[in-house]
Amino acid sequence: MTSTAPTKLEAPINADFCLNDEIGFVALIQQNGNDAMIVNSARVSFGKQIREVGEKDKKLLRFLLEHHHGTPLEHTSLTYLVKCPLFVARQWHRHRVGISINEISGRYVEVTDEFYIPNEFRNQSKSNRQASIDSEFSTNQYQECRATYKGIVDESYKSYLKLLENGVAREQARGILPQCTYTQFYWTCNLRSLFHFVKLRDHQDAQWEIQQYAKVMLAQAKEFFPDTINIWEDLGRT
Ligand SMILES: Cc1cc2nc3c(=O)[nH]c(=O)nc-3n(C[C@H](O)[C@H](O)[C@H](O)COP(=O)(O)OP(=O)(O)OC[C@H]3O[C@@H](n4cnc5c(N)ncnc54)[C@H](O)[C@@H]3O)c2cc1C
């Protein structure tokens, strides 16, 4: 493939921006199935079909979710277009089951100058080695940390472009870009795998940034699966 000039992905009209900038977003761009489909796939053993979910069907949905009968949820499909920092994608792509991913390649295209610069910094948690806690930084301290962070980002992108100008292959030059570089990918899951993702990632133990995406994804899915999602939440995200 030949080189392409960097083009910035435009957010679809239904995208929700998840972080503190106008760059990171998630959009549910395609979906298949609804609450009735989940009920019908559970009832197929009896040869019964419904078009609209009634009270009896909601009881069935509750029973399925409460007892982890997850397979009827697998006859659904949700495709999200995601733009997020590399370090978020790295956490995201650990989810394997019921999921398909295709991602932009820094081998094919020049990486664009889009980076996640936090608009606040959190302190390191003392009790949980993985976690952060709300910031105690003064405005001056924040400005100083931001200048350090952004200075390195700008410097590394300048150096990346310089390497490309000098003829270094994109696949090697990208090695110096920071983890806050934005990437983009299609992520297709079913409702069962979405629940698993949201349960783990919209959770206080998960990193704040991925939590923001998980929250929005569930909200976007709710338009198409309102009963199943409401019952799942009511059950405490079993
Ligand atoms: C708060 C948090 C902190 C984390 N910290 C770390 C960390 O420090 N280091 C690290 O490496 N990872 C870390 N992870 C990633 C974590 O270990 C999982 O890789 C990630 O959450 C995906 O979960 P999963 O495997 O359940 O999902 P999926 O891959 O989607 O799997 C779904 C389910 O399928 C079943 N399954 C999948 N694969 C197998 C298999 N091979 N054998 C048997 N059953 C299987 C399991 O029941 C699994 O829960 C962290 C995750 C979270 C949420």
pLDDT in tens, 35-59: 999 999 999 878 888 899 999 999 9
Supply the residue whose CA is at minimum distance from atom 39 of ligand 1: 97
pLDDT in tens, 70-109: 999 999 999 999 999 999 999 999 999 999 999 999 999 9
Supply the residue whose CA is at minimum distance from atom 11 of ligand 1: 94
Catalytic (active site) residue 201 = yes
For the cut 60, the answer to whether the pLDDT of residue 4 exceeds it is no
| Banded pLDDT at 164 (limits 50, 70, 90) | very high
Question: What is the predicted pLDDT for the residue at 127?
Answer: 79
pTM for this entry: 0.95
pLDDT in tens, 181-193: 999 999 999 999 9
User: 43, 90, 96, 201: which one is catalytic?
Assistant: 201
Question: Residue range 192-203: average pLDDT?
Answer: 98
206 CB near ligand 1 (under 6 Å)? yes
Supply the residue whose CA is at minimum distance from atom 9 of ligand 1: 91
Burial 168-205 (b: 16+ CB within 10 A, else e): eebeebbeebbebbbbbbebbbbbbbbbbbbbbbbeee
Q: What angle do CA 9, 15, 18 make, to 5 degrees?
A: 95
